[in-house]
Structure 1
Amino acid sequence: MLGRMTMLAPDDARPAPDLRTRKREATREALATAAFALATEHGLDGFTIDDVARRADVSRRTFFNHFVSKEEAVTAVVRLRVAGLLDEVERRIAAKSADPRPDARQHREVGEAIMADAVHTLLAADSVATFRSLIALTEASPELVPHLAGIEHEAGDRVVELMRGQDESVPPVHAVYAFAIPGAVMATVGAVYSRRLHVREVDGDAPGALALDDVIAELVHLIPAGDDCTGAT
């Protein structure tokens, strides 16, 4: 289920994009939102690129400045949403990772915070609803499947980066754990999106539904303790 990132202290946050970049991002988001809405309303075959451009109040040429196909535009709304959600996780983690020389206990605590933030963010009710809508679309339009798989892969890469860290302010996790743990997180998130696993905060009293905090508690057990958390041998 989204660029590369370096975990920075709050004072070192990346500069805000300039006006031109913000306008371009706003146009891309408007096109993606329009395409997703039209696909939800009419199905993938029930609208044209001209319809997307018209709803976003831009030209057909502008559409192709951002996307190469309807399929890419429809799935972009989810890609942009996940990127924004994980950017917010990054900002929160940076605020928790200010100690330049954390010990093993602090490594684990920050790792737990990263995991909890990522899972809470990806399984927020509105996030789940958006992904479930996209999954429903892919069932009717299999050509969307590669795009959905790409989003899931990108999201997994972002969570790997969050878990591994890019500098001393983030807990460096042993390479095996750095991929295994995010893999477990994304598999769990994907199971909720596809309704194979239910959480009470989203699915209410569905049979077998678990509290989100209980799901996170089980995932936290995967984080290595002590020196294993730092990759020491």
Structure 2
Amino acid sequence: MVERGLDGFIIDDLVQRAGYSRKTFANHFSCKEEAIAMAAILTTDHYDDEPLNAITQENILPLDALYVLIKRSLTAEYVSKMRQLVSLSNRYPTLEPYLLSVLSRLQATAQETLTDISQGRYPQGYSHLLSGAVYGAVLAIFDGRSTCCFQGKEPRILLGR
């Protein structure tokens, strides 16, 4: 898609380049837009090798747990891939629902993790609201409205351009 645009290739081109059959493609994806959106997250190793010990501490605050998750997942490569996907979805509106699905999966994973570690200490819905707010800010990084500097191991978010 990057080389030819969304209309410049067909599914057969994808499966031939990937070395799979069209049937295998159909077993995993409903269309080429879904495959493109999923490729942005599946082809990027966006987790460090360090274990999640920091968020499994008994009394870690949910916001601190989210910070650890974000710090682990927002690598320069991952942000670059997601920015590319957002840019492509701006040019090709049929890609947008699949981009939103990817973003929703990221938020849902964070929400599940927060719910698991909070063990009922917070009101129901708290994890959903908190992860929604934080991943809303992450979307601003992906669409270029804010930047994320990768100095050392910790990302720093800068609002504006």
TM-score when scaled to structure 1?
0.58
Confirm or deny that 1:193 pairs with 2:159. Answer: no
* Structure-1 separation of matches of 2:130 and 2:43: 22
Name the aligned partner's letter for residue 73 of structure 2: L
Counting aligned pairs with the same residue, the percent is 27
Q: Deviations over 1:176-228 (max 9, x none)?
A: 421221112101110111111122228xxxxxxxx83577xxxxxxxxxxxxx
| Aligned CA distance change for structure 1 residues 197 and 96 (closer, same or farther; 3 Å) | closer
What is residue 154 of structure 1 aligned with on the other side?
105
CA apart distance, 1:160 = 0.7
What is residue 44 of structure 1 aligned with on the other side?
6
What RMSD, in angstroms, separates the aligned Cα atoms of the two structures? Answer: 2.7
Which sits farther off after the overlay, 183-192 or 62-71? Answer: 62-71
Query: Comparing both chains, which one has the higher relative contact order based on Cα–Cα distances under 8 Å and sequence gaps of 6 or more?
Result: 1
- The structure where helix makes up a greater share of residues is 1
Question: Is 2:46–2:72's contact at 8 Å kept on the other side of the alignment?
Answer: yes
| Aligned CA distance change for structure 1 residues 114 and 81 (closer, same or farther; 3 Å) | farther
* Structure-2 separation of matches of 1:200 and 1:95: 22
Figure out how many residues of one structure are paired with residues of the other and give that number: 154
Confirm or deny that 1:141 pairs with 2:100. Answer: no
Q: Residue 107 of structure 1 aligns to a residue in which SS?
A: coil
- The structure where strand makes up a greater share of residues is 2
Question: Is 1:75–1:144's contact at 8 Å kept on the other side of the alignment?
Answer: yes
Name the aligned partner's letter for residue 107 of structure 2: G
Confirm or deny that 1:92 pairs with 2:51. Answer: yes
Name the aligned partner's letter for residue 80 of structure 1: L
Structure 2: state its 5+ residue gaps. none
Q: Give 2:40's match in structure 1, choosing from 78, 84, 105.
A: 78
Name the aligned partner's letter for residue 179 of structure 1: H
What is residue 155 of structure 2 aligned with on the other side?
212
| Greater gyration radius | 1
Confirm or deny that 1:131 pairs with 2:93. Answer: no
* Structure-2 separation of matches of 1:96 and 1:79: 22
Confirm or deny that 1:164 pairs with 2:115. Answer: yes
What is residue 107 of structure 1 aligned with on the other side?
60
Confirm or deny that 1:178 pairs with 2:140. Answer: no
Question: Is 1:123–1:189's contact at 8 Å kept on the other side of the alignment?
Answer: no
* Structure-2 separation of matches of 1:181 and 1:112: 8
* Structure-2 separation of matches of 1:96 and 1:138: 33
Q: Deviations over 1:143-190 (max 9, x none)?
A: 01111111111211111111111xxxx233332421221112101110
Q: Give 1:65's match in structure 2, choosing from 20, 24, 27.
A: 27
* Structure-1 separation of matches of 2:125 and 2:29: 36
Structure 1: state its 5+ residue gaps. 1-38, 203-210, 216-233
Question: Is 2:46–2:74's contact at 8 Å kept on the other side of the alignment?
Answer: no
Name the aligned partner's letter for residue 107 of structure 1: I
